[in-house]
Amino acid sequence: MPEIAAAPPTPPIPLAALLAREELGLRQIAGPMEAGAAVHWVHTSEMADPYPYLLGGELLLSAGVLLKDPDMYVSRIVQAGAAALGFGVAPVYDTVPQALIEACDRHGLPLLEVPPKTTFTAVARAVWRLMAEARHRELRRVTQAQQGLAAAAARPDPVPAVLHQLASRLGGQAVLLAPDGMELSSSGRAPSPDAGAALGRLARVVKPLPGTPRDDPGQAVPVPASASDAIPGAQLAAYALGGHQGLVLGLATPVREAGDHTVAGVAVVLLSLLTAPHQGADSSGRSAALVRLLLGAGPAEAAALLGAERWTVVHARGGSGTPFAASALGAALGSALVDPADDGTVRILLPADREVTPQPGWVLGVSAPVLPEELAAADTQAARAVHRAAATRTDLVRHRGTSLAALLAPEEAAAHARLRLAPIADSPVLLDTLRNWLSLHGSWDRTAAAMEVHRNTVRQRIARCATLLDEDLDDADVRMELWFALRSL
């Protein structure tokens, strides 16, 4: 797992916030007046050249004890990256030297006048207090973002939910990208028209840290900060997710706050876990079962490797349409045996002792528990059940067996069905239409919805069945006999 800071770094404070403290009486008398200067810490020095002792971002406080050459002095401060200069009036100077004011204007360094009544210690204490308040706000923001991301990861379709939460918290766009830069899922609005293309380019170059296994979920790799300079108005970052898929999380935000990296790190871990293939002891069993099936073994032999004697087949429709919706549904139902079909239907194989419950955003059809050699029949049961669920606008429909079937031996029932349905046996379309129509009590509209055809098509097919079978399909006894035959076929 990646090392994620327990707390974000302390954010700098705007110089304007310090100037707003009336008890200090600070006044800016030179340098750029526009907002934007930020103070990271305070340093007091009376050196003639303080450059070697500055780290950058300081508010440098001085009374000008060794001030000899104001222009050289200011230029060195600017080279060191100091945020501003605070000049104390008294005891050395009664007023701020005009040459110092002109030098600060010339080099673009904010110059603050510190009145005699205000000690440098008071200024430093005010800066630390403002930084503590800013840190508290940032900690609260990061904590709330972490809680929101964790809640999003527990939703039925977690990957889009996590991206949406991340984009909302950072005020920009969050994109899940393939290794070639293709967008898989995204949320939020990009701060720049070119941000999407730039993130795609970053996805193709971001790499794991040296020596880090690719299956370490959550390995975050930030793109160098200089990459953000290429897109005006947008701060870009890309993080390689753990696992073997090579996915990348891309972020495009208008600004970058101190805690954004911490928030992004949490999202990286969650997305790595949500998108990584299931690993564990049962993986070898599933792989062995697949190999045996490909090599000609029967379903019963392969199913024995999966650890269950009886199985349930679930068909599902719905979801968000993202590549991860099917696996998220499988995880919610407690199975990694998931097959997302090209037509949008998701098929899931579950041990029979697992309870199937309705899932938000999905319509489910559930088969009866079956032995491995009956899985094909269970697949048909689940397909019919999900058709019925869609037609009746029900979240979940279970296949229900008929007690009448138990009165006859299966081979006798099948023989009767073949004889009864012989006139339409060569037309799977007519058989399927008749089955759906009877299961939905002769409703034209619901049958049309279940089969995704026009109601007039259903009418024509049922009329054709009545003609070929030479039966009155309005007769309840006829319907009962045909339904029994269809169930036994």
Tens digits of residue pLDDT in 361-377:
899 999 988 887 788 88
9, 65, 95, 98 from 89: Cα distances, Å? 34, 11, 6, 13
pLDDT of residue 3: 40
Q: Is 331 helix (H, G, I), strand (E, B) or coil?
A: helix
Res 221 pLDDT > 50: no
Which position has the higher pLDDT, 174 or 281?
Answer: 174
Place of tokens 């800071």: 5
Which position has the higher pLDDT, 225 or 460?
Answer: 460
Tell me which of 3.40.50.410, 1.10.10.2840, 3.40.50.2300, 3.30.1330.10 is the CATH number of domain 404-488: 1.10.10.2840
pLDDT of residue 86: 94
Instruction: Name the pLDDT band for 360 (thresholds 50, 70, 90).
Output: confident
pLDDT of residue 46: 92
pLDDT of residue 63: 93
What is the Cα–Cα distance from 405 to 412, expressed in whole angstroms? 10
pLDDT over 70 percentage in the chain: 83
pLDDT digits (tens, 9 = 90+) for 320-344: 666 677 877 887 787 878 888 877 8
pLDDT digits (tens, 9 = 90+) for 79-134: 999 999 999 998 889 899 999 999 999 999 999 999 999 999 999 999 999 988 88
pLDDT of residue 310: 82
What is the Cα–Cα distance from 123 to 21, expressed in whole angstroms? 10
Tell me which of 3.40.630.10, 3.40.1390.20, 3.40.50.300, 2.170.190.11 is the CATH number of domain 27-117: 3.40.1390.20
Place of tokens 């008398």: 29
Mean pLDDT of 71-84: 93
Q: Determine which of 36-50, 283-297, 300-314 has the lowest per-residue pLDDT on average.
A: 283-297
Question: Both ends of the chain: CA-CA distance in Å?
Answer: 55
pLDDT of residue 73: 95
Q: What is the mean pLDDT of the chain?
A: 81
* Listed residue (444, 368, 430, 432) closest to 405, CA to CA: 368
Res 423 pLDDT > 70: yes
With residue 461 as reference, give the H or E element that holds it. Answer: helix 455-469
Res 318 pLDDT > 70: yes
pLDDT digits (tens, 9 = 90+) for 47-62: 999 999 898 889 999 9
Instruction: Name the pLDDT band for 311 (thresholds 50, 70, 90).
Output: confident
pLDDT over 90 percentage in the chain: 26
Mean pLDDT of 70-81: 94
What is the Cα–Cα distance from 322 to 478, expressed in whole angstroms? 46
Res 71 pLDDT > 90: yes
Res 68 pLDDT > 80: yes
pLDDT of residue 156: 75
pLDDT of residue 234: 78
pLDDT of residue 197: 79
With residue 76 as reference, give the H or E element that holds it. Answer: helix 70-80
What is the Cα–Cα distance from 148 to 230, expressed in whole angstroms? 31
What burial letters (b/e) apply to 290-302, b meaning 16+ CB within 10 Å? eebeeeebebeeb
Instruction: Name the pLDDT band for 238 (thresholds 50, 70, 90).
Output: confident
pLDDT of residue 457: 92
pLDDT digits (tens, 9 = 90+) for 165-213: 998 888 888 988 887 778 888 888 887 777 777 887 777 777 544 444 4
Q: Is 20 helix (H, G, I), strand (E, B) or coil?
A: coil
Superfamily covering domain 135-275: GAF domain (3.30.450.40)
Q: How far is CA 266 from the centre of its chain?
A: 11
pLDDT of residue 212: 42
pLDDT of residue 102: 94
Instruction: Name the pLDDT band for 137 (thresholds 50, 70, 90).
Output: confident
pLDDT of residue 325: 79
Ordered DSSP codes for 137-159: HHHHHHHHHHHHHHHHHTSSSHH
pLDDT of residue 283: 57
Q: How many CB atoms lie within 10 A of CB 130?
A: 18
Phi first, then psi: give them for residue 349, nearest 5 degrees: -105, 125
pLDDT of residue 459: 93
8, 60, 158, 174 from 263: Cα distances, Å? 9, 32, 17, 12
pLDDT of residue 408: 55
pLDDT of residue 365: 93
Give the CA angle between residues 287, 293, 296 to the nearest 5°: 140
112, 318, 335, 356 from 363: Cα distances, Å? 67, 6, 17, 12
Which position has the higher pLDDT, 434 or 273?
Answer: 434
* Listed residue (35, 22, 25, 10) closest to 86, CA to CA: 25
